[in-house]
Structure 1
Amino acid sequence: MNSDWFIYQGVSEPHDGIDRLPPPPPWRTFDGPLTEPRPVPPLDSASTRRLGGSQSRSVVRGPLEELEQINAALYLRRPLLITGDPGTGKSTLAHAIANELKLGRVLQWPIVSRSTLRDGLYHYDAIGRLQDSQLHGVTDTDIGRYLRLGPLGTALLPSERPRVVLIDELDKGDVDLPNDLLNVLEEGEFAIPELERAQRDQESETFSVLTHDGTAAPVLNGRVRCRAFPVVVMTSNDERDFPAPLLRRCIHLDMRAPDTDRLAAMVQAHFGGASVQENADMIERFLSARPGGLYAADQLLNAIYLTQYSAQEDPIRRDRLAALLMRPLGPGRP
């Protein structure tokens, strides 16, 4: 495998490969204004839950095509759209990228049927501002106190290094949401009308707002414009098709079910080095059950965890519990 050009290697050990990323192509160059450097929060429990303990992870690279598509998204500063069955590790990939390239906490935006583009960009607490004004008799309350950037909005703040933002299960959202995302993903910026109005009224250029990280950040002229385009990972369970304009702006990765090596790496990351050999029968059972049915890797991990406490010395009970926890979730892909 010729991987000299890979920034993301698909390994568990963090490294400074992001510093080798060349400048973006001219059509993906952004010039958001830099102010003072902002500290990036480290990986949080959301990542450690998915990736397992750092001392137990083994190095298992994904398929060559998968690594090529991830790195293509990094080089081209394009969103990565990951499709595939539930439980194949689509969301985990965002956390793996953040961990390996040392890009800090993943900014997560879980999509539901009521999600709108504004939910991902920012929230303005107009009612809270009005109540404070009435209670304290202050007519010129600082509007920045009542604005909080969402996960995508925080990822678009100007910085030298990109942030990782996970737009999870995009296909669960309203039919208009993918189209609403087009301009933001293409231009790398968005406006906050409330700040633009306040700027005209107060003759102030900069407002301090709260970010999704819980820290303050300055917003100039009522607009957020990125400098380093974020690593945007969008996932879909293939519940519906996306419009061609969105697909044109993305690198599309269709993630298939994990193979033996990747399952073994998951087991080792969560249960330690000796666990792979001890649970080889569980891994084999999981793999042999998959053809014709839909299974998620979580089911294998659940079965291993439960049986190591309840049926370690009882093969019959172990087999029964494994069958109970590793039932098919639905029909598999053709």
Structure 2
Amino acid sequence: MPHWSVYTGNSEPHDGIDDLPAPPPWRAFDGEPVLPAPRDTDDRAAVSPDRAHRARTYVASPETVQLVNAALVLRRPLLVTGPPGTGKSSLAYAVARELRLGPVLRWNITSRSALSDGLYQYDPLSRLYAARRAAWRAGDTRPGGEVPGTGGPQGVPPASADVEEHLRLGPLGTALLPYGRPRVLLVDEIDKSDLDLPNDLLNVLEEGQYEIPELMRSAREFSEAGTAEVLADGTDEPVAVGRGRVRCRAFPFVVLTSNGEREFPPAFLRRCVRLRLRRPDREQLTEIVRAHLDTPAGDAEHLINRFLNRAADGELATDQLLNALYLTGVAGLDADSRDALADELMPYLSATADGDGF
């Protein structure tokens, strides 16, 4: 393995991330204060059993291993494209497990997703209600409905120190905290976003930092120290944010997945390391089946052949084969019934293959 490689793809957890080469000078970050690494992803309280299983059983190709390491060393996002069922999102969990980088921060993209959703969420209405409840309990209101200390006739609170109680960092915002080790951020199905999101991500991922205006106003007006305690994504433990500015120290390992449903701007693409996952061949399928089900190769060979033959005529996903193998094994069917059930469990994913879209 080349000396610059830290991810091996063999699924055995290790601390090789500590040997990661220094970043290029143009990708070095110095965020403070340095935060400790989160808990290991082997902790079942930190990751769901299904994702833990996918992380342990992920089978990485040599190309995948090489490009994951390239993204880690260059401190660049990894754009992973490929057909459904090729393990694009599972790759993030596999890397996090092997390199002991803690729970994966996951941002599921929809057509309504905006950059602010990934950075942080702020609820001004809950803050207004909290101010009104506090004044009501104190029995102290002023003529015209003004609540003392809120600075407005409608009880609208100013940018004061309690703003952090109504603000929570999102997965992207949490990944860019100044952790001593990189966090893993999965931005899943970015091709479903509106046209602006990839471009909006450019500056944040390029600079490794962002600002929270609500906290910046609070720091200027009410706090000499300017430090706020804010909840991070995936935890109930607050982290310190100084004067509303967040800057990473170890650039996160960012996995952006796409099913190839759209083209991305050239400026976005040139800032990413690009990995194209392809349909697994017979040897890879056999290894995947063994990893997931511990099924002897001879027992699985018939359905693997059937899967490959069907896949020649249309889109199929690897988990369809796994479902068929598991269920036919549990049911204990004869050969004809097994094949019929397997065909039902492996329908084509594209309308052109079977004419009805199902």
Describe the shift of the 1:289–1:100 C-alpha distance in structure 2 as closer, same or farther (beyond 3 A). same
Q: Which residue does the alignment assign to 1:216?
A: 238
CA distance in 1, matches of 2:338, 2:52: 26
AA aligned opposite 1:98: A
Decide whether aligned partners of structure 1 residues 41 and 213 sit closer, same or farther in structure 2, where only a CA change above 3 A counts. Answer: farther
Structure of greater Rg: 2
Q: Tell me, which stretches of 5 or more residues in structure 1 are unaligned?
A: none
Q: Percent identity?
A: 52
Q: Show the counterpart of 1:292.
A: 313
CA distance in 2 between partners of 1:264 and 1:199 (Å): 58
Instruction: Kindly state the Cα deviation for residue 292 of structure 1 after the two structures are TM-superposed.
Output: 3.5
* Aligned equivalent of 2:172: 152
Partner SS, residue 279 of structure 1 = helix
Equivalent-residue separation in structure 2 for 1:130 and 1:307 (angstroms): 58
TM-score using structure 2 length = 0.85
Partners of 1:327 and 1:200 lie apart in 2 by 60
User: What's the CA shift for 1:48?
Assistant: 4.3
Paired with 2:102 and 2:34, the residues of 1 have a C-alpha distance of 19
1:166 aligns with 2:215: no
In structure 2, what is the Cα distance between the partners aligned to 1:73 and 1:136? 49
- Residue 52 of structure 1 is matched in structure 2 by 53
Number of positions where the alignment pairs a residue of Structure 1 with one of Structure 2: 326
1:243 matches 2:243: no
TM-score normalized by the length of structure 1: 0.91
Q: Do the aligned residues in 2 keep the contact of 1:151 with 1:212 (CA within 8 Å)?
A: yes
Counterpart of 2:320, as a letter, is Q
1:151-196, CA deviations, whole angstroms, 9 ceiling, x for partnerless residues?
1110000011000000000000111000000000100000001001
Aligned partner letter, 1:289: R
**Secondary structure of 2:185 counterpart:** strand
**CA separation in 2, counterparts of 1:47 and 1:199?**
38
How many Å apart are 1:141 and its aligned residue? 6.1
Counterpart of 2:95 (choices 89, 94, 97) is 97
SS state of the match for residue 323, structure 1?
Answer: helix
Q: Which moved more, 1:31-40 or 1:201-210?
A: 31-40
**Distance of 2:35 and 2:63 partners within structure 1:** 39
Q: Is the 8 A contact 1:41 1:213 kept in 2?
A: no
Q: Aligned residue for 1:178? A: 198
1:1-334 to 2 correspondence within 5 Å?
3-35=2-34, 37=36, 39-40=38-39, 42-43=41-42, 48-50=49-51, 52=53, 57=57, 60-62=59-61, 64-137=62-135, 139=150, 142-203=162-223, 204-214=225-235, 215-272=237-294, 274-310=295-331, 312-330=332-350
Amino acid at match of 1:117: L
Q: Which runs of 4+ in 1 moved over 6 A?
A: none
Which whole-Å deviations, capped at 9, do the CAs of 1:94-142 have from their partners, x for residues lacking one? 1111011111111000100100001111000111111111111274561
Deviation at 1:213, TM superposition (A): 2.0
Alpha-carbon offset, residue 243 of structure 1: 0.2
How has the CA–CA distance of structure 1 residues 127 and 103 changed in structure 2, closer, same or farther, with 3 Å as cutoff?
Answer: same
Superposition RMSD on alpha carbons, in Å?
Answer: 2.1
Mind listing any 5+ residue stretches in structure 2 that lack a counterpart? 136-148, 151-159, 354-358
- 3-state secondary structure, aligned to 2:83: coil
Deviates more, 1:197-206 or 1:32-41: 32-41
CA contact (8 A) 1:109 1:168 kept: yes
Distance between the aligned counterparts of 2:112 and 2:267, measured in 1?
22
- Secondary structure of the structure 1 residue equivalent to 2:41: coil
